[in-house]
Amino acid sequence: MNLDLLFLIVDRLLIESHNRPLNSTEKLILLGIWQYKTYKQMAVEAGYSPGYFTNVVAPELFGRLSKGIGQRVNKKNCRALLESYATTQTASQKRPLRQNLAEPLPDVNQNTLPCYPSGSVPLDSPFYLERSLLEEEIYQEIGKPGALIRIKAPREMGKTSLLLRVLDYANRQGYHTISLNCEQVEQAILSDLNQLLRWLCANITRQLQLQPMLDEYWDEDMGNKISCTLYLQEYLLESINTPLVLALDEVNYIFEHSQVAKDFLPLLRSWYEEAKRLPIWQKLRLLVVHSTEIYVPLELNQSPFNVGLPIQLDCFTQQEVQQLAQRYKLDWVDGEEARQLMAMVEGHPALVHLALYHLSRKQITVSQLLENAPTEGGIYSHHLQCHWATLQEQPELAQAFDTVLNTNETVSFDPILTHKLSSMGLIKLSGGQVSVGCELYRQFFTRRSSNKRVANIRGRIPE
């Protein structure tokens, strides 16, 4: 069966059963199954960790499909069951399928139900909570020649949603905008300065719809950084008449390659400094977005992280949670429900949105949601399983987090581990103190770690 048609049938099934169609990673899983690939092959080709596909994406997908079809779905029988189901649906006159693949998905009460919160909040969404003071500060800064803006926050705190609005503002000013996500860059490129700089220039060139001229400017005798700088200055910036906003998202992925970071990050700083003496560099406005503090040692006068405008995204306040609940049409009058939710997730934006979405569907109460929240059957199961899979793949990271879970005293361990846990949102850093990110994480990971220790002990006891 044609895979495009199959995806349409499965989308309809999942919308009817879960109000959410296939996401991009789930489509990769199905495509890989049709191509008889292992989870490892699927993950490596797509740039994900194998454990994420094996332990998180596939189990959740099969669970949703099982509920929708009414039969237990797994990797071995997935293809046969879906093809049988699709054939039945195609033959049925009760559910006519779209003949035109460009035709939109059926309306699922779009006017009354909010969309399932996943990833960044769309520009036209009423469920985006404005950070008015920060946004206005950024808009003013981006209008300044040679501006550099640094946005920092753990993952899923709203950085990309904010970035969308900054780029939209810049577009409305008539600026050129380029957005590049370092998370999407292959490791082979991130670990090689020459390839990284050529990747950067090639992507900017493509998005500006200019002819690539890299080989004409790249000179081994001058070196990669000078070649890249000249390409930007003499070709790209000379070719445009309005400012260029260059947004580099998830720059922390470069931190993991310390030698490359020691060359690349000072290069960003040098472009910022060039704007003070060369008018052409004033066209460039840099947006650097990252999830952790910089943990690569740099000279103070070379770091881009101590110049420009710093922006720190924090968790929602109780008042903001209450305000967002109103947008989800929840009748929270006295603030008690908001307080209870804050006690569990501490205003974590992604977790708050997910809770309010489920509550808005009137199928679960606040007390039921919070009781099941730190369990495998709760609404946060996918989010928690993702973090668990990451920790299992990095034992040193898991051990460090376990230390935080099991002590009330100040703990100190490798700065890189601290920054990674902080970027995941699993820990909070305040005045030298390290603590668990929220009660949800404390309860879930304490129980998971305890169960794992018990299982290990039992495994060592002879029967």
Co-location of 326 and 413 in the same domain:
no
122 within some domain: no
* Same-domain pairing of 76 and 157: no
pLDDT of residue 302: 80
pLDDT tens by residue, 213-228:
999 999 989 999 999 9
Domain annotation covers residue 73: yes
Q: Give me the pLDDT at residue 166, please.
A: 94
Do both 182 and 166 map to the same domain?
A: yes
| Each residue's pLDDT tens digit, 71-119 | 889 888 888 888 888 877 766 534 444 444 344 444 434 444 577 887 7
| Mean pLDDT score, 27-37 | 85
- How high is the pLDDT of residue 344? 97
- Our count of domains for the chain comes to 4
188 and 284, same domain (yes or no): yes
- The arithmetic mean of pLDDT across residues 328-345, rounded, is 93
Question: With contact defined as beta carbons under 8 Å apart, do 423 and 295 qualify?
Answer: no
| pLDDT at residue 86 in the model | 80
Do 406 and 346 fall into the same domain? no
Q: Which of 312, 330, 345 is the last residue of a domain?
A: 312
Using alpha carbons, select from 310, 303, 227 the residue that is nearest to residue 265. 303
| pLDDT the model gives residue 152 | 92
In this structure, the answer to whether residues 293 and 337 fall within a common structural domain is no
State the pLDDT confidence band at 455, using cuts at 50, 70 and 90: low
In this structure, what CATH number is given to the domain that contains residue 161?
3.40.50.300
Q: What is the pLDDT of residues 271-324, one digit of tens each?
A: 999 999 999 999 999 999 998 777 777 777 788 888 999 999 999 999 999 999
Q: What is the pLDDT of residues 116-156, one digit of tens each?
A: 887 788 888 889 999 888 999 999 999 999 999 999 998 88
At residue 327, the 3 state secondary structure works out as helix
In this structure, the answer to whether residues 415 and 369 fall within a common structural domain is: no
Neighbours of 244 (CB within 10 A): 21
Per-chain mean pLDDT for the chain: 85
Same domain for 227 and 251?
yes
Whether 145 and 253 share a structural domain? yes
Whether 156 is covered by a domain: the verdict is yes
The answer to whether position 127 is within a domain reads no
Q: Are residues 170 and 74 in the same domain?
A: no
Together in a domain, 74 and 137 = no
Residue 95's pLDDT is what? 41
The pTM assigned to this predicted structure is 0.72
**Together in a domain, 420 and 388:** yes
124 assigned to some structural domain: no
Asked if the structure places residue 100 within a domain, the reply is no
Domain final residue, candidates 31, 65, 91: 91
Q: What percent of the chain has pLDDT over 90?
A: 51
More confident position, 196 or 419:
196
Q: 338 lies in which domain range?
A: 318-373
Residues 6+ apart with CB under 8 A from 176: 208, 240, 242, 243, 244, 245
| pLDDT value of position 113 | 57
- Per-residue pLDDT of 53-63, as tens digits, reads 777 788 888 88
More confident residue, 6 or 342: 342
The pLDDT of 435-458, averaged and rounded, is: 79
- Give a yes or no: residue 8 inside a domain: yes
The better pLDDT of the pair 97, 422 is held by 422
Q: Please, what is the angle between helix 258-274 and helix 193-207, to 10°?
A: 50
pLDDT: which is higher, 152 or 413: 152
Domain assignment present for 106: no
pLDDT of res. 217: 95
| Contacts of 275 by beta carbon, 8 Å cutoff, 6+ apart | 145, 146, 281, 282, 284
pLDDT at 50: 65
